[in-house]
Structure 1
């Protein structure tokens, strides 16, 4: 890599750090949660695509939903109820969608993320 390329790379990193510095923590948490929700929805077969069922991967969905539950549970006291409520609603919806998509549903309290949220009933 040339010196010019290294300088460009360094400036790019500095620009990204400045951009992140300006973003409030609540926005970063929400953005991360939305990415996890979107990925989990796709893995639960909820994508609005003709081949959505083919994209279903409940093992991957379980991991994503559990990670989301951990994030939402840990962040809720820090970000406040107004920001946490929609994240909790989305999480619950995904937990129920997972249960519906599963051919062998987990016991209540054993589903994805339920070690953080408690049992989810639908």
Structure 2
């Protein structure tokens, strides 16, 4: 026979969204921003055809990559003053690499300043 929960065992009945809110409250903003940027970079790399494995070409989707790179550029541009140059510099380097990979993967290149995210970063060449 099981014993009923005691008052100090309130976590077992806690709403999962309340537990997630408490967990995320413990994470520094710089970590949330950089982690989000890394997720966007990873997704954009796959969509640019840079994934490892034999199915990389099948996963390539430049329309989706454009959206992800533009969102990444906006996040990095807006977040850089908040996260500091030590965190922003490698993110900017990764963004630039993705922008160049996108340009290389495109059959019809965008005009300078019109590539993904370039409205935030300026032309990439």
User: Could you tell me the TM-score, scaled by structure 2's length?
Assistant: 0.88
**What is the aligned partner in structure 1 of residue 58 from structure 2?**
54
Name the CA distance, whole Å, in 2 between partners of 1:51 and 1:13. Answer: 36
2:44 paired residue among 29, 40, 44:
40
Unpaired stretches in structure 2, ≥5 consecutive residues: 1-10
**What is the aligned partner in structure 2 of residue 69 from structure 1?**
73
Alpha-carbon shift at residue 49 of structure 1 (Å): 1.3
How well do the aligned residues superpose, as a CA RMSD in angstroms?
Answer: 1.4
Unpaired stretches in structure 1, ≥5 consecutive residues: 1-6
Q: Which moved more, 1:11-20 or 1:60-69?
A: 11-20
Is structure 2 residue 123 aligned with structure 1 residue 119?
yes
Name the CA distance, whole Å, in 2 between partners of 1:9 and 1:118. Answer: 51
Alpha-carbon shift at residue 84 of structure 1 (Å): 0.2
Runs ≥4 in structure 1, deviation > 3 angstroms?
7-10
Q: Aligned to 1:73, what secondary structure does the other structure show?
A: helix
Which structure has the bigger radius of gyration? 2
Q: Deviations over 1:24-61 (max 9, x none)?
A: 00000001001100000000000001010111100000
